[in-house]
Amino acid sequence: MRTIAALGSSLLLLLPTACSSGDEDDAGTTAVALAKGLSDGSLADVPFTEGDPTDEFGDVVAGLGDAPVEVSAADPDLDGDKGTVSLTWTWDVKGNEWSYRSSADLAKDGDTWKVVWQRNLVEPSLTGKEVIDVDVLLPSRGAILGPDETPIVVDRDVVKLGLDKSTLTRAEEAVSARAIARVLDIEVASFTKRVRASGEKAFVEALVLRKADAANLPPAYGEIKGAVAIGSQRPLAPTKEFAAPILGTVGEATAELIEKSGGRLSAGDLTGLSGLQARYDEQLSGTSGVQIEAVAGKGSERELFTTRPENGQPLTLTLDSELQLRAEQILAQTKPASAIVAIDPTTGDLLAAASGPGSKGINTATYGQYAPGSTFKVVTALALLRAGLTPDTVVPCTSTLVVDGKTFKNYDDYPASHVGDIPFRDAFAQSCNTAFIAERDRLKKGDLADAAAALGLGVDHDLGFPAYFGQVPDAASETEKAADQIGQGKILASPMAMAAVAASVRAGHTVLPRLIADHDVDRVQPEVPLTAGEAKQLQQLMRGVVTDGSAAFLADLPGEVMAKTGTAEYGTGAPLPTHTWMIASTPKLAVAVFVETGQSGSATAGPLLRSLLER
């Protein structure tokens, strides 16, 4: 028996050593720690056979930047004191998922299972001193187009101006940064700060100019050490001014935008910074592709993974480029804030939405908020017609009218021949303030707001771009109600909203402006829609302004032009400054012209409107 037992013992010594459940648990713990450490980028808590390879791991994946990675470990496969664990890697590289498997060797050291560090643990094909690098494959940005795919914002030649730090000392960088900022007339402190914060060999962009504008650079720029001019392309409109407040700009992503993007943007990316370029950035920018390579030195790249970029999709607008340019040319010499808005009354398409240079980059055209003055009398007229007034009703047009102690009067050069008891159509054509105020008792609460809504004013819609439809609140007093009748008080509108009023009268129904061709609008219908009979009466009243009233200077234009002039007092002083307005329509065009400060609607806004209609 002892012989057999001894023989049995000898045979057992020859069999492979089995792994206990304890070994499997311990190896599993090491595998989980490894997966977590690789995901977190720190291997300090992982037991390795030799030291902490965190720095070497960082070198291998440095080219992937801050791309997040998730690493998971399978159950280890153990054989005695050795084993392997399969790792599944999932990288998010610029929105592109790169997944693959690798394996890590394990070795038991006493009671502890440790990981054997090798570079192919990170990616199975890595050899020698290879590291991983990424080339971003940029998509083409989607164009902004007009009707019939007319190009509006497309890639155009530019020159990037800035500082090349690669040949400068720290002291020279500061001197050159200040000099560049002064020559280019940009903020010195801000540019200098960006130069200090950038890398040692960075190019720090100061300004981007259209190629034609760059030809006029001051000679002093070329004399600044480190100042460079780099040819490039940027998505640009036909001119610097072309619908600029609406279209917005494209530039390098700011730190704030990068943070808000959820990983979609990173430093150096071009993105929409404002306007439509920002709101529709994801559609326009497309998706970057990536080419991930194993690199051991210059010329030794080996492809590991590639995705092709997906180009951005175009955004189609209703703007008529020729008409927009014409409107901006008309406003070019207007010093106060100003706007011209043109709408096709048959479709609601915004054909022009121009803000003048006096607006200083503000979107006056579609988002300005101003008292519309006597152009609002179109709305008041509709409310009065609904209350029983007719164009032939005789109304009192007095020189002045006192309401609760406040005196209202007509504009300074109101024609004396039209003072007295006159037909309502005459009061409308001559824009008699006192006649409109005198009829205020015909209107009950909400009548004015209902009439405004029927003409496209005072009801908000999401049109896909910044749009202000105005406000027509209930009056809080008799004097406020009187002021509301003539488009002052608390009445506000944008030039776009007043163009919609003119378009609605011409079309015979509520016209909702449209700029984004494929934007679906959740349209809010007016509670009391405009009827054909009401539209016809308003058309006659507005036509009378041209044939017999304050817009007679348009009478020779074709197309049975309909119009209404307007002024609105604002601010302080004696006399009070006035906003000046004019709205008009032809069968194919409804236009609003606004100048923040001027003499009168006919004298200030009128010539600008005529210039547009003469086209």
Question: CATH homologous superfamily for 321-613?
Answer: DD-peptidase/beta-lactamase superfamily (3.40.710.10)
* Sequential DSSP letters for 246-279: HH--EEEPPHHHHHHTTTS--TT-EEE-SHHHHH
Give the CA count within 13 Å in the CB-facing half-sphere of 36. Answer: 10
How high is the pLDDT of residue 2? 35
Q: What is the mean pLDDT of the chain?
A: 93
Q: Is the pLDDT of residue 13 over 60?
A: no
Least confident interval from 5-9, 378-382, 556-560: 5-9
Band (pLDDT 50/70/90 cuts) for residue 9 is very low
Q: For residue 176, what pLDDT is reported? A: 97
Q: Is the pLDDT of residue 444 over 80?
A: yes
Q: Looking at residue 252, what is its pLDDT?
A: 84
Q: Is the predicted pLDDT of residue 150 greater than 50, yes or no?
A: yes
Confidence of residue 7 (pLDDT cuts 50, 70, 90): very low
For 545-573, the pLDDT digits (tens) are 999 999 999 999 998 999 999 999 999 98
Inter-residue contact 461 to 522 (CB < 8 Å): yes
Helix (H, G, I), strand (E, B) or coil at 133: strand
Q: Is the pLDDT of residue 101 over 90?
A: yes
What is the value of pTM for the model shown? 0.82
From 11-25, 118-132, 346-360, 569-583, the region with the lowest mean pLDDT: 11-25
Is 50 buried (19+), middle (13-18) or exposed (0-12) by CB count in 10 A?
A: exposed
pLDDT at 15: 39
What percent of the chain has pLDDT above 70?
96
Contacts of 401 (CB under 8 A, 6+ apart): 407, 408, 409, 433, 434, 437, 438, 482
Q: Is the confidence at residue 265, as pLDDT, over 60? A: yes
> What is the domain partition of the chain in residue ranges?
17-127, 144-316, 321-613
pLDDT band at 259 (very low <50, low <70, confident <90, very high): confident
Residue 6 pLDDT > 70: no
pLDDT of 397 > 90? The answer is yes
Model confidence at 11: pLDDT above 60: no
pLDDT at 19 over 70: no
The partner residues of 230 in beta bridges, in order of sequence, read 160
- Residue given tokens 């030649």 in the structure block: 157
Report the pLDDT averaged over residues 406-435: 95
Is it the case that residue 1 has pLDDT exceeding 50?
no
pLDDT for residue 189 is more than 80: yes
| Cα–Cα distance measured from residue 187 to residue 171, given in angstroms and rounded to the nearest whole number | 19
CATH code of the domain occupying 17-127: 3.10.450.50
Q: Are 346 and 492 in contact (CB under 8 A)?
A: no
Which tens digit of pLDDT belongs to each residue from 211-224? 999 999 999 999 99
What pLDDT is recorded for position 410? 93
- Could you read off the pLDDT of 476-492 as tens digits, one per residue? 999 999 999 999 999 99
Mean pLDDT, rounded, for 383-398 = 98
Distances 358 to 139, 196, 354, 361, 597 between C-alpha atoms, Å: 37, 36, 11, 8, 11
Averaged pLDDT, 408-426: 94
Task: Report the pLDDT value the prediction gives residue 270, as an integer from 0 to 100.
Answer: 84
Q: What is the mean pLDDT of residues 88-113?
A: 95
Residue 136 has what pLDDT?
A: 86
Say if residue 13 is exposed, middle or buried (CB neighbours under 10 Å; 0-12, 13-18, 19+).
Answer: exposed
Mean pLDDT value of segment 432-451: 97
pLDDT score of 452 more than 80:
yes
577-583 average pLDDT score: 97
Residue range 144-316 forms a domain whose CATH class is alpha beta
Q: Peptide bond preceding 336: is omega within 30 degrees of 0, i.e. cis?
A: no
> What mean pLDDT is predicted for residues 350-376?
98
Q: How confident is the model at residue 95 (pLDDT cuts 50, 70, 90)?
A: confident
CA–CA–CA angle 350, 352, 357 (5° rounding): 140
Compute the average pLDDT of residues 352-379.
Answer: 98
Confidence category of residue 253, pLDDT binned at 50, 70, 90: confident
For position 66, what pLDDT does the model report?
Answer: 85
- For the stretch 400-405, contacts whose Cβ atoms lie closer than 8 Å and that sit 24 or more positions apart, written own/partner, are 400/434, 401/433, 401/434, 401/437, 401/438, 401/482, 403/437, 403/478, 403/479, 403/482, 404/477, 404/478, 404/479, 405/479
- pLDDT of residue 89 exceeding 80, the answer is yes
Specify the pLDDT at position 20.
Answer: 65
| The pLDDT of residue 21 | 66
For the cut 60, the answer to whether the pLDDT of residue 8 exceeds it is no
Average pLDDT over residues 220-242: 94
CA dihedral sign of residues 473, 474, 477, 479: positive
